[in-house]
Amino acid sequence: MPSVAFYTLGCKLNFAETSTIAQDFKSNGFEEVSFKNAADVYVINTCSVTENADRECRNIVGRAMRANPDGFIVVVGCYAQLKPEQIMEFPGVDLVLGATEKFNVTQFLGAIQKTNGNAQVHSCEISKADSFVSSYSAGNRTRAFLKVQDGCDYKCTYCTIPLARGISRSDTVKNIILKAQEIADKGIREIVLTGVNVGDYGKGEFGNKHHESTFLDLVQALDYHVDVDRIRISSIEPNLLRNEIIEFTESSSKFVPHYHIPLQSGSDLILKKMKRRYMSKLFAQRVKTIKSLNPDACIGVDVIVGFPGETEERFLETYNLINSLEVGYLHVFTYSERANTLAAEMEGVVPFQERKRRNKMLRILSEKKKRAFYETQIGKKRPILFENENREGYIYGYTDNYLRVKTHWNPELANKTKTFRISGICNEGFVILDEQSRSANATDFFRV
């Protein structure tokens, strides 16, 4: 039986799609092995959101070569769509597949023999990436990432995703319900809805811009029809997170009180340069609406520092806006110039060291925000979904509102949802269950 190993870079959507690719290999008689092991075929699913992701792809190719110099190396995904000629120059790469071809890897393998510097490239014009391929990942059997939407019609000036994934298109509500129930029937307790722009859900395939359904329609259907403990929304644009969606999810017993909302900048001038579809006032309103309905809801925020034209004054607009709002944590990204984007040609370039300084300032703010949010939860009971892995004597999990939990391994907790009271905070940001389970060198853990 031939063997295959997978490595996924980037977002939850990529992980879902890697699972679909892996199923195709399995159906064609392949055995999946760890990426650390010698395999006949290595498949690397790439990201190209940042320059670091590009460099990491090259490093992962090198790891595959070291594991098996004779292994057939396939690179797929966003980076493969954007820069196939660059990837084919990487030593060891044999096959590069673009946005649509990646779901048919086995059809391109041939005899699975090293090409010795003559990599093949199969990459369609991105305008032809207009069909939807259903995917979900369920690696740890506790949480699954379910793809409901792909592509993006937004034209943010810093982003290459529309060039890598094509137009916005979606799965049907009916098929998503079937996939979600299939996930639930496997004993998986939580489903995370993923996509490039999930709030734009409902557009059809093949360039059909009409919304057959809305994201609210999908949320309501999943809540009503799928027998699962939890449903989580991975990320949603503030202009698409409408009040009726917030109101419904807060009234739901399945949708968790956790929202991840991209801000990118708190400066309206920078938001306009980015061609975002909202201003800072709307973002602040969304946060306040969520907190007015549920003060215990956790809100995560994406933010970019160092965008062209971001002076110190405009950066402080971002800092001060975030500092004024009840958010739980930040994902901070340092702006990097990307080829074929409008932002790469803009004036007002921010020096790299200054970008790093601003990134550090926001990461420190993120830790303060996280600590402040955790403190609001002391004394309250929260349901915790535990994972099913014994990781060096510990079991991990999350509350519904995204507090990270850690306690000593107990098989009776694995893949179960249990409710406990939070009674303390630790510097590591974990929760443990009782005084007796505290380790000797971790005296400041959360206690539940």
Region 129-256: CATH code: 3.30.750.210
B/e letters for 18-34, b = 16+ CB within 10 Å, e = fewer, are: bbbbbebbeeeebeebe
Neighbours of 372 (CB within 10 A): 12
Start-end of H helices in 325-430:
352-376
Tokens 């507090």 label which residue?
403
Evaluate whether 3-124 and 258-376 have a shared fold: no
Quickly tell me which residue has 């990436």 as its tokens.
129
CB–CB of 217/173 below 8 Å?
yes
* CA 411-415-417 angle, 5° bins: 105
Give CB contacts under 8 A, 24+ apart, made by 363-369.
363/330, 363/332, 365/319, 365/322, 365/323, 365/330, 366/329, 366/330, 366/332, 369/322, 369/327, 369/328, 369/329, 369/330
Q: In what order do the strands lie in the sheet with 329-334?
A: 258-264, 298-305, 329-334
Taking Cα atoms as reference points, which of 246, 163, 265 lies closest to residue 199?
246
The reported pLDDT for the residue numbered 53 is 67
pLDDT confidence of residue 122: 86
- What CATH number labels 258-376? 3.30.750.200
User: Going by DSSP bridges, is the β-strand pair 329-334/417-421 parallel, antiparallel, or unpaired?
Assistant: unpaired
pLDDT in tens, the chain (448 residues): 899 999 999 888 999 999 999 999 999 999 999 999 999 999 999 987 766 767 888 899 999 999 999 999 999 999 889 888 888 888 899 999 988 899 989 988 876 778 777 888 887 778 888 889 999 987 667 999 999 999 999 999 999 989 989 999 999 999 999 999 999 999 999 999 999 999 999 998 877 777 889 999 999 999 999 999 999 999 999 999 999 999 999 999 999 999 999 999 999 999 999 999 999 999 999 999 999 999 999 999 999 999 999 999 999 999 999 999 999 999 999 999 988 999 999 999 999 999 999 999 999 999 999 999 988 998 888 999 999 889 888 888 999 999 988 888 889 999 999 998 887 776 666 655 444 334 333 333 444 3
**CATH label, 3-124, candidates 3.40.50.12160, 3.90.1150.10, 1.10.1370.30, 3.40.50.300:** 3.40.50.12160
Q: What are the domain boundaries of the chain?
A: 3-124, 129-256, 258-376, 381-447
Look at residue 427 in the predicted model and tell me its pLDDT: 63
Query: How far is CA 158 from its chain centroid?
Result: 18
Q: Is beta strand 3-8 parallel, antiparallel or unpaired with respect to 31-32? A: parallel
Predicted confidence at residue 299, as pLDDT, reads 98
Residues whose CB is less than 8 angstroms from the CB of residue 77 and which lie 6 or more positions away in sequence, other chains included: 9, 10, 14, 17, 44, 45, 46, 47, 48, 102, 164
Q: Which of 69, 18, 68, 23 is nearest to 43 (CA)?
A: 18
| pTM exceeds 0.75, yes or no | yes
The whole-number pLDDT of residue 210 equals 77
Query: 322 by DSSP, 3-state: which?
Result: helix
Residue with token string 């074929």: 340
